[in-house]
């Protein structure tokens, strides 16, 4: 894996609690503060030069959270601020803040694939890809740069979501109503099951597989014969949420990509209610990648989410994206 720093120019209005507030600030001071803004929260220790309401700072910051990633890291920062309101303990400042820190682990992928399903299994990533004549199921090597075990899907099958359950890999197909079952160790196909709807995303809890079809429903199915056990309607405060795609089940919640959007929603499986929504529109930019999939094909969107339980991190990628990003999600 390769990690990169990123530089953020920010125009912010922030709220600070200063540990060394004074009636009349000195021209030079060492400032320790807790800073909250729309970018997240930081603890800082900066050298500060003050002239009237103008503040110039440089120093270290500790990033508690950066909006969507929950990776606490050290960084460096420079800032200019103009005090708007102040008293002996609190100050409100508007200004520009430049930070350089490392919240994301970046993996440069040499294999560009049309990602449809992604799971972490046996200390490796396993991916299922789409497009007719190009659909494969494969295990990535340690560096995520080449294929390990690999299975090619024959025409006319269009590969979709995958999951690993009870030593078996399950792979959906889009419009062909087939579910392929493989031995998770050898990748040998051991069964083909029937599914009455389109296949999109796939994950599982302790007892059932969970399938999305691009609608607002999630289906809990029997892993032996793929019979439907329960249908769950997914909704938010505005109504039912369709276009549910790639899935991952983590700590009692279902994470779902929304097709056509760079967004992941978090679903309560008992009720179908969306309890959180995370926008990853700036993910590639924050990963310091000069790549805009929307300029190539509107279908080349975020679509791939896998959870690594040991590090408690998520791997995120998209259709034909050149990178994979490893982050923690709040």
Residue by residue, pLDDT tens for the chain (330 residues) are 333 333 344 444 445 555 544 445 558 888 777 766 545 566 778 788 888 778 788 877 776 655 444 445 556 777 777 777 776 666 677 767 665 555 556 665 556 788 899 999 988 889 998 889 889 998 876 655 556 788 999 999 999 999 999 999 999 999 999 999 999 999 999 999 999 999 999 999 999 999 999 999 999 999 999 999 999 999 999 999 999 999 999 999 999 999 888 889 999 999 999 999 888 877 777 666 665 555 545 556 788 899 999 888 888 888 887 778 888 776
| Residue 176 shares a structural domain with residue 230 | yes
Number of domains in the chain: 2
Place of tokens 């990003």: 325
Asked if 35 and 79 sit in the same domain, the reply is yes
Residues 122 and 269 placed together within one structural domain of the fold: yes
55 and 34 in a common domain: yes
Burial 32-68, CB ≥16 within 10 A → b, else e: ebbbebebbbbebebebebeeeebebebebebbbbbb
Are residues 11 and 160 part of one domain? no
Instruction: Tell me: do 234 and 263 sit in the same domain.
Output: yes
| Domain identity same for 118 and 165 | yes
Q: Is residue 216 located within the same domain as residue 275?
A: yes
Same domain, 63 and 174: no
Q: Are residues 96 and 122 in the same domain?
A: no
What is the pTM (predicted TM-score) of this model? 0.71
Full domain range(s) for residue 241: 105-327
Last residue in a domain, options 54, 69, 101:
101
Question: Cα separations (Å) of 131 from 121, 152, 175, 326?
Answer: 24, 11, 12, 25
Question: Given 74, 101, 128, which residue is the final one in a domain?
Answer: 101
Last residue within a domain, chosen from 79, 101, 123: 101
Same domain? 64 vs 114: no
Same domain, 291 and 239: yes
């Amino acid at each position: 894996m390769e990690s990169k720093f990123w530089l953020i120019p920010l125009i912010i209005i922030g709220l600070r609690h200063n540990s060394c507030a004074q009636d009349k600030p000195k021209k030079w001071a060492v400032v320790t503060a807790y800073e909250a803004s729309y970018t997240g929260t930081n603890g800082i220790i900066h050298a500060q030069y003050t002239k009237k309401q103008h503040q110039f700072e440089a120093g270290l910051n500790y990033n508690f959270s950066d909006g969507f990633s929950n990776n606490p890291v050290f960084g460096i920062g420079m800032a200019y601020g103009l005090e708007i309101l102040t008293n002996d303990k609190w100050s409100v400042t508007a200004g520009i803040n430049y930070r350089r820190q490392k919240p994301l682990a970046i993996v440069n992928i040499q294999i560009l694939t049309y990602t449809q399903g992604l799971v972490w299994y046996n200390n490796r990533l396993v991916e299922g890809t789409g497009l007719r004549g190009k659909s494969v199921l494969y295990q990535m090597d340690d560096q995520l740069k080449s294929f390990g075990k690999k299975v090619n899907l024959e025409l006319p099958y269009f590969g979709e979501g995958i999951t690993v359950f009870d030593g078996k890999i399950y792979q959906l197909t889009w419009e062909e109503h087939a579910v392929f079952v493989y031995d998770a160790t050898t990748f040998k196909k051991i069964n083909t099951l029937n599914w009455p709807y389109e296949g999109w995303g796939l994950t599982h809890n302790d007892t059932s597989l969970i399938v999305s079809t691009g609608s607002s429903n999630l289906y809990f199915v029997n892993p032996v014969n793929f019979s439907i056990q329960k249908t769950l309607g997914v909704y938010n405060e505005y109504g039912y949420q369709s276009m549910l795609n790639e899935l991952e089940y983590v700590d009692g919640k279902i994470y779902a990509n929304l097709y056509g959007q760079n967004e992941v929603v978090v679903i309560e499986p008992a009720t179908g209610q969306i309890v959180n929504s995370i926008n990853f529109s700036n993910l590639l930019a924050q990963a310091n990648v000069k790549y805009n999939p929307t300029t190539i094909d509107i279908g080349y969107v975020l679509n791939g989410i896998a959870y690594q339980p040991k590090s408690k991190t998520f791997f995120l990628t998209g259709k034909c994206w050149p990178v994979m990003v490893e982050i923690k999600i709040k």
